[in-house]
Amino acid sequence: MVYQELIDNFNKLDSIYLYGAGVVAYGAYKAIQELFGIKVNGFLVTDKDNQLERIDDIPIHAFKEMQIGNDNLIMIATPEEYHDSIEQALQKQGILNYIKLDSHMEYVLMGKYMKKVCGLKLIEDYQTYEIDTFTSIGIYKVVSHMDRKLIRAYREASWIKEIQVGTVLTKERLADITDERCGSLSEQNALYGELSATYYAWKYGIYDVTGIFHYRRILKVTGEQMQLLKDRKIDVILPLPFVCYPDASGQYRRYLLQADIDIMLEVIKERDREHFKEILDILKIPYLYNYNMLIARKEVFDDYCSWLFPILKETAYRCEMQREKRLSRYIGRIGEVLTSLYFMQNMKKWKIAHAEKIWRV
């Protein structure tokens, strides 16, 4: 139904404006161009500070400087948390001809695009069958005393287990499972973010299928689809990668200092010299897995963590030795780049399926 809604909208058009100029908007631009042949007239932003002038030779405009009538369709293509304020700004200018690219519509659109252009598989592409048991499946949902309270309450699937991270940094207790076991990264949660839960799951997890969700972001999977992992029909479930401009660095350079990237690459080269050229080539393609979220068979999860955490540990050590001011959770952000590198590098080794990312409010 959602895809048909897009078809119905785009069949009436030759062109469109996109409100947004980040990875959500750029991915939407690539997808509607490829799938529908629709021209993008421009990217609209609320504030042009620190923005490029053009993306793929398409201009970026400050919305307040534009005169756009209702004969032009605008797609709001930003993270959902900004949709309401953008919608209000459009309505204030009398603009009613717009659609909001919410998480579900984005998944449908980008899923079609990724299947066509990259041959990626979606979890829906696999035939499912009778559910067995979930006694050996555990997905850790990360919560913290620093989290903003959700407006809505959500009922969790039986395989989702809450884990509190940064537990040694507070007396507040939010979950039965906490990350302060001996040798954990609980004290360094301010650096590692949700990866301190990933580390816990690797070292102390007891499940044959395990993974990481966030308190605000989860992957949409059914019990039948989880069974595919138990039965080795697939090896890992990931969110769809972002499409970045001009390459993966267009996303990760927004939240990492060049000095940190250089140290990360230096450590990778020392630890994985055999694959270092391949890794550099991967960073030149326009795709990046974000969020450090996954569901995987234990063999895959262990292999991923065994590669990831030694690189992170040494990178953190060298970065912290410099004692320069850095962005919050920057090691967790480096982890996102490394997570992307690991799975991009192992596309042929592991059977990867992709699932919809749900944004909770």
Which CATH number do you get for residue 130? Answer: 3.90.550
Residues 68 and 131 occupy one common structural domain:
no
Task: For residues 253 and 164, state if they share a domain.
Answer: yes
E strand or H helix that includes residue 118: none
Residue 183 sits in the same domain as residue 302: yes
| pLDDT recorded at residue 202 | 96
Q: Are residues 236 and 335 in the same domain?
A: yes
236: its two tokens:
């890992």
| End-of-domain residue from the set 117, 147, 163 | 117
The residue among 84, 117, 150 that closes a domain is: 117
Pair type for strands 137-143 and 209-214: parallel
Q: Closest by alpha carbon to 355, among 18, 111, 81?
A: 111
Residues 219 and 88 in one domain: no
Distance CA 158, CA 340 (A): 28
Cα angle, residue 125 at apex, residues 223 and 340 outer, rounded to 5°: 85
Q: What is the CATH number of the domain that holds 37?
A: 3.40.50.720
Q: Tell me: do 113 and 172 sit in the same domain.
A: no
CA distance 272 to 266: 10
**Same domain? 43 vs 64:** yes
| Section 31-50 average pLDDT | 92
Residue with tokens 């076991």: 181
Dihedral angle computed from the Cα positions of residues 28, 33, 36 and 37, in that order, rounded to the nearest 10 degrees? 160
Structure tokens at 270: 């020392």
Query: How confident is the model over 308-361, as pLDDT tens digits?
Result: 999 999 999 999 888 677 777 899 999 999 999 999 999 999 999 999 999 998
Tell me how far apart the 2 most distant CA atoms of the chain are, in Å: 62
Range of the domain at 333: 123-359
Residue 182: φ, ψ to 5°: -55, 130
Is residue 198 a contact partner of residue 210, using CB atoms and an 8 Å limit?
no
The total number of residues written for the chain in this structure: 361
Among 78, 96, 117, identify where a domain stops: 117
Whether 156 and 303 map to the same domain: the answer is yes
* Measured CA distances, 32 to 26, 115, 313 (Å): 10, 14, 41
By the 8 A CB rule, do 47 and 64 touch? no
* pLDDT single digits (tens) 185-207: 999 999 999 999 999 999 999 99
pTM, 2 dp: 0.94
SS3 120: coil
Answer yes or no: do 78 and 145 share one domain. no
Residues 63 and 79 in one domain: yes
Number of domains in the chain: 2
| Residue the block writes with tokens 């395989």 | 159
pLDDT in tens, 105-153: 999 999 999 999 999 999 999 998 877 666 789 999 999 998 888 888 8
